[in-house]
Amino acid sequence: MSAPGEAVESATRRSSRLLAWAGPATLYRLPVYAACTGLALLSSYLLGRDLMWDTLNYHLYAGWSALHDRFGEDYFAAGSWSYLNPYAYVPFYLLAISGPSALAASSVLAVLDGAILWLTYELAVLACPSATPRVRMAVGVCAVALTFFNPVLLQQLGSSFTDVTTALPVLGGWLLLVRALQRPASSAAIICAGLLIGAGTALKLTNAVHAIAACALLGMLPRRLPLRLRACLQYGCGLGAGFAAATLPWSYQLARTFGNPLFPLLNGVFRSPEMTTAPLLLYRFIPADLPEALWRPFAMLDPVPLVHVEDCAPELRYAVLMVLLIVLAGGWLRRRLRPSAAAYGAAQAEPDLRILTALGVALALDWVLWLRSSGNSRYFLPASSVASVVLVLLIVRLFARRPRLRNYALMAIISLQAVQVYMGTGFAWQHVPWGGPWFQVTVPEPLTRQPNLYLSVGMQSDSFLAPFLASGSGFVNLSGAFPLGADGPAGERIRALLRRHAPHLRMLVRGLRLYEDGEQRLPRRSAVDEVMQRFDLRVDPRDCATIAVHDLAPALDITVRGPSVPAPQQPLDTTYWVSCQLVAAPADHSAEYARQQTVDEAFAHLEDACPELFQPRGLRTEHHHDQWLRRYVNTDLIVWISHGQVAFRDVPRGDPAISLGDEAGWEQTPPRLACGRSAGHYFARVIPANASH
């Protein structure tokens, strides 16, 4: 054969091998990827611009603080969220501030977020045991469809949330570990998986559960025990290196400032005096007991809020997975108890199920860890994609001999999930129509020229306004989710900032203006003065300015008590913040301090009586008019003492207040409490002194 003929034959063989390796699952990647990106863009456009609570509370501030050293300028500007690793929020900050429009910025973020669908497709194709390319591609497309109809994912596409963004390296790491199951000699894949998952965990610490659950994949490697242990060591090294690379610059700043490289987390280990040493764990979605945990997959079917996220987000996949596992377990048990030749032959002919088994075990471990640590589906997005893959593969396996029934089952599950998401998901939660830049903030000209120290008041930190104020300004959220006092290290830091910026000190609170007590509307000047008096300051009502944020609907106008006084007219698409000058107002605080010590003693006895509810213990007590209150961020509870009575309430769920008796009783001889949580609601009642144990 001539040399040209040999070359043509060799090229033909190479092309044949390439096509055989690629198959439809690979040749159709570009159309699948394009469809995934298009779906992400369409969803983001239909959803609208994200101006949700967290966006205003700390997302924009976090991205800004990552690029501007705020450690010496601000103090808890966005509450305790100020000091979480901010690097994942940098793209949102840059796009939202400097982008040509909010729609363009969101589109870029949506394209990035849509990559989670690409990775889901790759994982499904890789894990599919079938050698038929058409089946592998169909499995990938079905897994993508189920992942796309995840209501929590849809709510976040193109938004300021980084749950999807940080899920990408985690899911990519799981994909590499699954590839290592097929190619046991690939140590590079294991190390790279550790690097990706470690970086994703550093950017969002809630991804730690996925990093731990991934170890189950390593346990299924087809190697001898010493080689598996070496693989675990390689994964651990990669995990540590990835985590360090993504957090070292920020952790160095935290360690230098607070003595805790993960501040405010793990403070029970590092014991910074500027944060409680009690564990910080939000119990909002964590099951109270084992029956509630077992029922969670079916509870997620109900389109009601506060099941696994704050808004309505009905979810079908986990209930179907639970049913499928029960069916498959029953079939396995039946075959074990009544073996037959046919069953034995079928078992011998089964394809290799190592990958499906490994994914199933890792997913189950991930689910348990997730339920125990948060139960919040925003933090489950990487494993949620894995759940779609496992669900589709279980359907394919269950109906392996009935392909038509298999197709009907997959179409039914996808269709039911799509209908449920369309009809039951709360998509309009604090989203606004497109138009103009992401943040349309109008700041009075003096506030853009003169640097000031702003002391904000309110549960919403309003730190998103900080980048729009004059360069050199400082920001402190003085009264909010994590209130700050004038004593201790926090007081020393705030006083240092006050001295540096004096006399350019201003307060900041949401509202068109400050109201006097007789006007019976919020915000009241007297309430703001009560907060500012901690540092011997008061409001100067002669020097106030109003900041307007357009396309943000104002909160409901609140009447404090008595007949309504006509409220000033304001646009229905604009929210205002009022900022007034603060002036020195020295006062004698001895009586207030003495009263606070008595109140704090009562709260300490209450925390001793029911540590399950009132945690973390020892946070600062705030004084508002005739009320002393303490917020327990782990359980979302607010406890207050007013007019000699003690009561508490679960604010997010809107439960009625529960009375705990007289203040005098809690100060002197604290009663016993029967307390806990049932069906997602907290309860507590005082046990009479003469009651038997």
Q: What is the DSSP string of 312-343?
A: -----HHHHHHHHHHHHHHHHHHHHHS--HHH
pLDDT top residue among 665 and 99: 665
Instruction: Determine the pLDDT at residue 554.
Output: 74
pLDDT band at 30 (very low <50, low <70, confident <90, very high): confident
- Longest pairwise C-alpha distance within the chain: 107
Q: Output the pLDDT for position 29.
A: 84
Residue 472, φ and ψ in degrees, nearest 5: 95, -5
Rounded to an integer, the average pLDDT of 314-341 is 80
Predicted pLDDT of residue 27: 62
Map 1-64 to HEC letters.
CCHHHHHHHHHHHHHHHHHHHHHHHHHCHHHHHHHHHHHHHHHHHHHCEECCHHHHHHHHHHHH
Residue 274's pLDDT is what?
93
Tell me how far apart the alpha carbons of residues 378 and 206 are, in angstroms, rounded to a whole number: 10
Taking only Cα atoms into account, the Rg of the chain, rounded to an integer number of angstroms, comes to 29
- Mean per-residue pLDDT of the chain: 88
DSSP letters for 510-548: ESSS-B-GGGTBSSBHHHHHHHHGGGTEEEEEEEEEEEE
Per this entry, what is the length of the chain? 693
Please state the rounded mean pLDDT for residues 338-356: 56
Residue 212 exposed, middle or buried by CB count within 10 Å (0-12, 13-18, 19+) = middle
* Mean pLDDT value across residues 193-204: 98
**CB within 8 A of 61, min separation 6: which ones?**
77, 78, 82, 461, 463, 464, 466, 467
Sequence ranges of the domains in the chain? 23-424, 440-587, 591-687
Q: Please report the DSSP string for 613-641 in residue order.
A: TS-STTPPPEEETTEEEEEETTTTEEEEE
Do residues 523 and 515 lie in contact, with contact meaning Cβ atoms separated by under 8 Å? yes
Confidence of residue 232 (pLDDT cuts 50, 70, 90): very high
Q: How far apart are CA 368 and CA 293, in angstroms?
A: 9
Residue 619 · residue 604 · CB < 8 Å: no
Residues 6+ apart with CB under 8 A from 334: none
* Distance between CA atoms of residues 129 and 393, nearest Å: 8
Amino acid sitting at position 145:
A
Contacts 24+ apart (CB under 8 A), 489-496: 489/273, 489/274, 490/75, 490/76, 490/274, 493/75, 493/274, 494/75, 494/535, 495/535
- pLDDT > 70? residue 5: no
Cβ partners under 8 Å of residue 670, min gap 6: 605, 606, 608, 609
Q: What is the DSSP string of 80-99?
A: EGGGS--GGGHHHHHHHHHS
Rounded to the nearest 10 degrees, how much is the dihedral formed by the CA atoms of 151, 156, 161, 164? 80
Q: Number of helices and strands (H, E) in the chain?
A: 26, 16
Reduced to 3 states (helix: H, G, I; strand: E, B; else coil), residue 482 is: coil
- 631 — phi, psi (to 5°)? -100, 135
> Is residue 552 scored above 60 in pLDDT?
yes
Q: Which of 115, 114, 137, 113 is nearest to 126 (CA)?
A: 137
Task: Give me the amino acid identity at 597.
Answer: Q
DSSP 660: E
Alpha-carbon dihedral sign for residues 81, 49, 93, 91:
positive
In the sheet that holds 627-632, the strands lie side by side as: 622-624, 627-632, 637-642, 645-650, 658-662
| Tokens representing residue 248 in the block | 């070292």
For the cut 70, the answer to whether the pLDDT of residue 170 exceeds it is: yes
* Token output for 506: 């201003």
Contacts (Cβ under 8 Å, ≥6 apart) of 368: none
What span, in angstroms and rounded, lies between the C-alpha atoms of 317 and 417? Answer: 8
Where does the pLDDT of residue 568 fall: very low under 50, low under 70, confident under 90, or very high at 90 and above? Answer: low
Give residue-wise pLDDT tens across range 621-652.
998 888 999 999 999 999 999 999 999 999 88
Checking if the pLDDT of 498 tops 70, the result is yes
DSSP character at residue 506: E
Band the pLDDT of 352: cuts 50, 70, 90. low
Give all strands (DSSP E) within 58-155, no chain letters: 77-80
**Lowest mean pLDDT, pick from 68-77, 524-533, 604-613, 662-671:** 662-671
Q: Cα separation of 450 and 443, whole Å?
A: 12
Higher pLDDT, 417 or 551: 417
Q: Mean per-residue pLDDT for 14-43?
A: 70
Listed in sequence order, the residues at least 6 apart from 82 whose beta carbon sits closer than 8 Å to its beta carbon are: 58, 61, 62, 65, 70, 74, 76, 463
In degrees, rounded to 5, the angle at the alpha carbon of residue 498 between the alpha carbons of residues 495 and 500 is 110
Query: What pLDDT was estimated at residue 684?
Result: 93
**Per-residue pLDDT at 360 exceeds 90:** yes
Report the b/e string of 588-622 with b at 16+ CB within 10 A: eeeeeeeebeebeebbbbbbebbeebbbbbebbbb
**Per-residue pLDDT reduced to its tens digit, 91-149:** 999 999 987 899 999 999 999 999 999 999 999 999 998 878 888 899 999 999 999 99
Stated as kind and residue range, the H or E segment containing 466 is: none
Quote the pLDDT of residue 299.
Answer: 95
- Give the DSSP H or E segment for 583: strand 574-584
SS3 459: coil
Could you report the per-residue pLDDT of 450-496, keeping only the tens digit for each? 999 999 999 899 999 999 999 999 999 999 888 998 989 999 999 99
pLDDT at 567 over 60: no
Look at residue 8 in the predicted model and tell me its pLDDT: 39
**Under 8 Å between Cβ of 217 and 197:** no
Highest-pLDDT range among 26-40, 410-424, 510-524, 585-599? 410-424
SS3 state of residue 470: coil
For residues 660 and 646, the answer to whether their CB atoms sit within 8 Å is yes
Residue 401 tokens read as 């001999």
For residue 2, the model assigns a pLDDT of: 43
Instruction: Return the higher-pLDDT residue of 433 and 308.
Output: 308
> What SS3 state is found at 437?
coil
| Residue-level pLDDT at 185 | 64
H-helix segments, 207-316: 208-213, 215-219, 225-258, 267-270, 290-299
Reduce the DSSP state of residue 687 to 3 states and report it. Answer: strand
With contact defined as beta carbons under 8 Å apart, do 370 and 104 qualify? no
Residue bearing tokens 């409680």: 276
